[in-house]
Structure 1
Amino acid sequence: MQVSGLWRYPVKSLAGESLSTLDVSDWGPHGDRRWMVVDHRGQFLSQRQLPQMCRLHARQIDGGIILEDLSSGDSLPVMQPTGSHNMVVVWQDRCSAVDGGDEAARWLSRRLGVEVRLCYMADDFHRQVDTAYAQRGDRVSFADGFPFLLCLQQSVDALSEGYGKPLAMARFRPNLVVDGAPPFAERQWQQLRIGDVIFDVVKPCTRCAIPTIDPQTGEREKAVFSLLREHCSEGKNIIFGQNVIQRAQGRITLGDDVEVLA
Structure 2
Amino acid sequence: MKVPVTPIGTVSELWRYPVKSMLGERCEALRMEARGVEGDRLFAVRDSKEKFGSGKSTRRFRKIEGLFRLQASYHHQVPHIRLPSGHVVAGDSPAVHQMLSEELGLPVVLAREEAISHLDAGPVHLITSASLAWLSSALPSVSIDARRFRPNLVIDVPGADLVEQAWLGKRLCVGKEVELEVCAATERCGMVASTQSDLPEEPSILRHIARQADLKFGVYARVVVPGTVHFHDSVVLGNGETRDLPPRC
TM bracket (short chain): 0.7 to 0.9
Cα deviations across residues 84-117 of structure 1 (Å, max 9, x unaligned)?
Answer: xxxxxxxxxxxxxxxxx75211111111122211
**What's the counterpart of residue 208 of structure 1?**
189
Select 1:74's aligned residue among 79, 82, 87: 87
Question: What is the CA–CA distance in structure 1 between the aligned matches of 2:107 and 2:67, rounded to whole Å?
Answer: 13
Select 1:60's aligned residue among 52, 74, 77: 74
SS in 1 for 2:91: strand
Show the 5 A alignment for 1:1-262. Answer: 1-48=9-56, 49-69=63-83, 71-79=84-92, 103-122=95-114, 125=115, 141-164=117-140, 165-182=142-159, 183-189=161-167, 190-195=170-175, 196-216=177-197, 220-233=201-214, 238-262=215-239
Q: TM-score, normalised by structure 1?
A: 0.79
Measured after TM superposition, the shift of residue 218 of structure 1 is 8.1
Backbone CA RMSD of aligned residues: 1.8
Contact (CA 8 Å) 1:21, 1:254: kept in 2 or not?
yes
SS in 2 for 1:224: helix
- The change in CA–CA distance for 1:187 and 1:63 in structure 2 (over 3 A counts) is closer
SS in 2 for 1:247: strand
SS in 2 for 1:14: coil
Contact (CA 8 Å) 1:3, 1:178: kept in 2 or not?
yes
Letter of the aligned partner of 1:191 in structure 2? R
SS in 1 for 2:19: coil
SS in 1 for 2:53: coil
Contact (CA 8 Å) 2:48, 2:108: kept in 1 or not?
yes
**What's the counterpart of residue 96 of structure 1?**
none
**What's the counterpart of residue 59 of structure 2?**
none
Cα deviations across residues 193-221 of structure 1 (Å, max 9, x unaligned)?
Answer: 11121110000011111101121268643
**What's the counterpart of residue 131 of structure 1?**
none
Q: TM-score, normalised by structure 2?
A: 0.83
- The change in CA–CA distance for 1:3 and 1:217 in structure 2 (over 3 A counts) is closer
Percentage of matched positions with identical amino acids: 28
Letter of the aligned partner of 1:55 in structure 2? R
Measured after TM superposition, the shift of residue 157 of structure 1 is 1.9
Unaligned runs of 5+ in 2: 1-8, 57-62, 240-249
**What's the counterpart of residue 88 of structure 1?**
none
Question: What is the CA–CA distance in structure 1 between the aligned matches of 2:135 and 2:64, rounded to whole Å?
Answer: 25
Question: What is the CA–CA distance in structure 2 between the aligned matches of 1:209 and 1:152, rounded to whole Å?
Answer: 20
Question: What is the CA–CA distance in structure 1 between the aligned matches of 2:134 and 2:65, rounded to whole Å?
Answer: 25
Letter of the aligned partner of 1:10 in structure 2? P
Unaligned runs of 5+ in 1: 80-100, 128-140
Which stretch has the larger CA shift, 51-60 or 199-208? 51-60
SS in 1 for 2:225: coil
Cα deviations across residues 55-103 of structure 1 (Å, max 9, x unaligned)?
Answer: 201111214111112x321110123xxxxxxxxxxxxxxxxxxxxx752
Question: What is the CA–CA distance in structure 2 between the aligned matches of 1:203 and 1:251, rounded to whole Å?
Answer: 22
